[in-house]
Structure 1
Amino acid sequence: MEDESLFKELDTFEELQSPFLLFPVLHRELESLNRLKRNREKSILVSNVLSGLHLGEERPGPEERLDLSGKRLGKSLDNPLADQLCSKLESSPMDSESRQQLLGLMLERRESVNLQMSRDGYLLALFELENPQISAVKINTGLYCQELYLLRLYEKLKEMALKFKQKIQDTRSEKDTVLMGKSTELQHGVTYIENCASILKTTPLKQNYELDLRPGKVGKKISVKQLSSGYDPFSRKLSHLPLADVTLNQMLEIMHLLERNNPLVGYHQSLRHEILARLAFADALLTKDSKKEKEGASQFSKALTTISQAMALVGYAPNRSVEIATIVRYGQIVYMIAKIYRLHQIPLPNAHQEVMNKAVRVLQKVAEDKNAKIIQQNLLTFMENN
């Protein structure tokens, strides 16, 4: 019975049962919210039905589900203002301002926010980030909610791993393959979530800015202000929110169309692929899943391809900040591939030796840059020792 109780506790959320399914599970949950939105847009009748049966209904206990009103989160916050905001969202589910305020209330009391609350907040923040009217505030909210959720998930997994370990020790169940298997999976899950949090951690945006990516609002040219205060910093931070890929893809497509001769486009494409590669390898390191290794290698290949395309746009004597940043990023990707392949005992492609030599040469062009110098030295050391 006690074993059943332990396993039942894991049933609360699918990512507790299987931590390595974290991103697919959350992606599916996010799609459920988007489906509600699409259904509402299709028909007023369908919207009213959904509002009555799903958005406005208070379902008891564990059967209660997250919806566009955020009512479950609002109820947990136990705050009159949260109740008011949820009521607004119940009647106007696309009220972005009210949803942002609700998430702000949650973040204000983050110390007392539990796993379910942080999960709801994270999904609602991601839903907001799929709105083409994007802002620094929304991105920062997404980053804060992601960090909080991963922390709470890490803590819960650690708690459950200890419970399973203690159960095995107390009952001397070392031969119970089910208990042992789940205990090992949870321990690996703790490490995996910790690594994911480390990979995705970044600083928030400092400047408040907004972009409207709706059709007809983009224009035929990206201004210097839009690029420096919007597209560039927004893309950089959205790369650290792997589930916010819809908006990031849209921004990259716009930049590719209107700034095709700017190396910044390839820079951000490579950053996105790099982070996805590192997440895949973080999984493979613990699960030994060859498919995840191949996925990571594929993403690194794309990262190298896109930054190489950006390098082709850098002048012979680079002096602009974007050119220096592109060269440094090229060196970073080249070195990271070599380092992670060695960690996973994957043979480096023969061509990568020449790629490393090229990286050392181009980094010399911007040797006055501190980061370039460090990466160049790391590459030289790696080549000497391998």
Structure 2
Amino acid sequence: MGYNSENLRELPDIQNPLLLFKNLKTDLDKLKSQIGNLKNIKLSSKLLHGISLKKGDLPDVRSLEYTGSRLSHNLKNTRATELSERLHKYPEDSKSRLKLVEMFLQEAESCSLPISRDAFLLAMQEVASPMISTQKINMALAAQTIYLEKLQKVLKDDLTETESKIKGDGNVDTILEKQLKRMQGTEDFIRKCIELLKTEPIPTDYELNLKKSKAGKSIPFGNLKSGFDPMLRRLVFLPLAGDNLKYIFEILHRLEGKNPLVGYHEAKMFDVLAQIQLIIASAGNEPEPKKNGFELFSKALKAICDAVKLVGNIPEKAIEKAAVYRYGHLCYTIHRTYKSNNIPVPKEHLKRVEKAVSLLEPIAEDPKNRKMQAKLAYVLDEN
């Protein structure tokens, strides 16, 4: 089932790319609610063993749904439709859904933009589950990159076409020029998001039961080292993972409140979200995203400040050194953001920069830390 240019224009992500993550989140919530609604249906004992596919009871191949039917009908792998039918019978069959996403990843190059979007959202549906794994996160990251790159290509093609029209006509068309400027901004937004969100996959296999962790009185060291830590390092690059990230941080704040690891990751999450908002603000020239961006930076600062308070004067452990570096890096990023937006740097922020320079001193033998310290020292010199 192909998609022509007219179909593409109906995609909300094409109509308004700056609302990309908002629109994706809306559709992800629809997928999650489909499963939730099915759970609320009182099934007979026969249905509990699987819903029989009858005529007129087939998955809808025209729209996005939990079965991945539209995706399966656009894949070459002959087993894809079987997986979709199985998901229709067993909606919570994660293995089948992941297998479907895996098939997509193998055929991604030939898949259309809408189909790539479906695959990404199905992968994110799995990431939103309380049973979270490195496999699910890796697949979602891969699908996210593929979708964003395909979206950028469509926007780039539209931009090139509009540029050609302007050059070809020879006359100054105000409407076309305004359209061109808007298109340049949206294409730039997607390009910067690709750069911001691209990261390496988690190299190890691990699974966490978040419900079990939430009910527990402590977190086993293995779960922290091989589960929460590496997963959070990647989850922060999935803007649609906000609900599960919130759930995870609730668990960690309760059970690992004295561990700087919590603030370290939470700060990065807010940092990434802040940068997305500021990219939107730059592309759309609107005040609300800029305001949101600075508010998110404030949350990031609070999180990393809380982490640094747990470190003490001399960082010793790897996570302590990492927290201090992130504190310095965030201070530098926020300073640059003030400057690029022609906003006077508050004295309070300069005090934070001074503190970062001081905290980095004991670990300045590391070239990375020394370089960051030098950047921050330069900030103080120019102010």
CA shift digits 1:185-227 (9 cap, x unpaired): 2221111000011111111101111100125775211111111
Instruction: Mark the runs of 5 or more structure 2 residues left unpaired by the alignment.
Output: none
> Given that residues 212 and 218 in structure 1 are in contact (C-alpha distance below 8 angstroms), is that contact kept between their aligned partners in structure 2?
no
Spell out the pairing of 1:158-307 with structure 2 (5 A cutoff): 158-171=156-169, 174-177=172-175, 179-215=176-212, 218-307=215-304
Out of 10, 32, 36, which is 2:34 matched to?
A: 36
DSSP 3-state at the match of 2:314: coil
Q: Tell me the C-alpha RMSD between the 2 structures.
A: 2.3
Structure-2 change in CA distance of 1:103 and 1:55 (3 Å): farther
Determine the structure 2 residue equivalent to 1:152.
150
CA–CA distance in structure 1, aligned partners of residues 10 and 119 of structure 2: 17
Letter in 2 for 1:264: L
Q: 1:174 deviation in Å?
A: 3.4
For residues 194 and 53 of structure 1, the distance between their equivalents in structure 2, rounded to whole angstroms, comes to: 45
1:167 deviates by: 3.0
Tell me which residue corresponds to 1:371: 368
TM-score normalised to structure 2 length: 0.92
Deviation string 1:262-294 (CA, Å, 9 cap, x unpaired) is: 111111111111001111111112222111111
Structure 2 residue 130 is matched with structure 1 residue 132: yes
Structure 1 residues 333 and 166, CA gap change in structure 2 (3 angstroms): same
Q: State the one-letter code of the partner of 1:87.
A: E
User: What amino acid maps onto 1:65 in structure 2?
Assistant: S
Q: CA deviation at 1:356?
A: 0.7
For the residues of structure 1 that align with 2:287 and 2:57, how far apart are their CA atoms?
A: 42
Q: CA deviation at 1:119?
A: 0.5
| Counterpart for residue 103 of structure 1 | 101
- Aligned-partner Cα distance in 2 for 1:172–1:33: 48
Residue matched to 1:78: 76
The aligned amino acid for 2:270 is H
Q: Partner letter of residue 58 of structure 2?
A: G
**Corresponding residue of 2:19:** 21
Within the candidate set 58, 61, 66, 1:56 is matched to 58
Q: Is the 8 A contact 1:55 1:68 kept in 2?
A: no
Which residue is equivalent to 1:349?
346
Q: Which of 138, 141, 148 is equivalent to 2:139? A: 141
Q: CA deviation at 1:136?
A: 0.4
Q: Distance in 2 between matches of 1:264 and 1:285?
A: 32
User: Alpha-carbon deviation of 1:161?
Assistant: 1.4
Work out the number of aligned pairs and report it. 375
Instruction: Tell me the distance in 2 between the aligned counterparts of 1:44 and 1:180.
Output: 57
Structure 2 residue aligned with 1:123? 121
- Inter-partner Cα distance in structure 1 for 2:54 and 2:336: 55
Q: Deviation of residue 231 (structure 1)?
A: 0.8
Cα distance in structure 2, aligned partners of 1:78 and 1:268: 40
Q: Is the 8 A contact 1:238 1:244 kept in 2?
A: yes
**For residues 174 and 32 of structure 1, do their structure 2 counterparts lie closer, same or farther at Cα, with a shift above 3 Å needed?**
farther
- How far residue 112 of structure 1 moved from its aligned partner, in angstroms, is 1.7
Does 1:311 find its partner at 2:311?
A: no
Alpha-carbon distance in 2 for matches of 1:331, 1:139:
28
